[in-house]
Chain A
Amino acid sequence: GENVEQHPSTLSVQEGDSAVIKCTYSDSASNYFPWYKQELGKGPQLIIDIRSNVGEKKDQRIAVTLNKTAKHFSLHITETQPEDSAVYFCVNDYKLSFGAGTTVTVRA
């Protein structure tokens, strides 16, 4: 979507390594930043979200950081596993804009 830019578009990591995906947004009124994971043949599923009053949130191997001043937020996956291979999308709650997606491949 035009309101959020996502990088990189593809990411290949060795199993056990970390993966980082970054998104930047333009609307300063945004205050909710979810991340979705989409596996082949399925709809996107929420994996983690963060609100603007929080700078970081963790859920086991997944973490999200938010920098409102710089207008960017990032997804961090640690100790990657083969089942982490999927397409990941960041979302800007302004007009519910999805990023273009990052295809993550975890090499065994």
Chain B
Amino acid sequence: ETGVTQSPTHLIKTRGQQVTLRCSSQSGHNTVSWYQQALGQGPQFIFQYYREEENGRGNFPPRFSGLQFPNYSSELNVNALELDDSALYLCASSLTVDNSPLHFGNGTRLTVT
């Protein structure tokens, strides 16, 4: 059973640029959730995708967008990067959308300069 993998592991971008982060979900999982974790804080929910459609969104601006593909892998796109976007971005897959344990990848560390 392959776990959740995220790429890249680290990334440095300049303010105003755009970034795409990728996530491969665990085999058999059809739901992917994305989180932003600032240093020393708990993960903050960005959005969730279920069977290729957005299924809930946290308090993040529209410049944070996502996609889920037919194989249930997912992308997180962030436009017009700001310094405060520097954080660890975590992807988690789950068997289904409700009351299902989250299986996390090890994250992408994004630094915006």
Is the pairing of A and B real? yes
Q: Are B106 and A43 in contact (CB under 8 A)?
A: yes
Q: Are B41 and A43 in contact (CB under 8 A)?
A: no
Expressed in whole angstroms, the minimum distance between the Cβ of A46 and any Cβ of chain B is 5
User: Closest residue of chain B to A87, judged by CB?
Assistant: B42
Question: Which residues of A line the B interface, CB within 8 A?
Answer: 1, 6, 31-32, 34, 36, 41-46, 49, 51, 89, 91, 93, 95-101
Q: Are B41 and A95 in contact (CB under 8 A)?
A: no
User: Closest residue of chain B to A93, judged by CB?
Assistant: B99
Question: Which residues of B line the A interface, CB within 8 A?
Answer: 4, 33, 35, 41-45, 48, 56, 58, 90, 92, 98-99, 101-107
Q: Are A44 and B41 in contact (CB under 8 A)?
A: no
Q: Are B42 and A43 in contact (CB under 8 A)?
A: no
Q: Which of B33, B48, B107 has the most CB of A within 10 A?
A: B107
Name A46's contact: one of B41, B58, B102 (CB within 8 Å).
B102
A35 to B45, CA, bound (A): 16
Knowing A43-B107, A95-B56, the reply to whether A51 touches B99 (Cβ < 8 A) is: yes
Q: Which of B43, B44, B103, B107 has the most CB of A within 10 A?
A: B43
Knowing A31-B99, A32-B99, A34-B101, the reply to whether A97 touches B45 (Cβ < 8 A) is: yes
Name A43's contact: one of B99, B101, B104 (CB within 8 Å).
B104
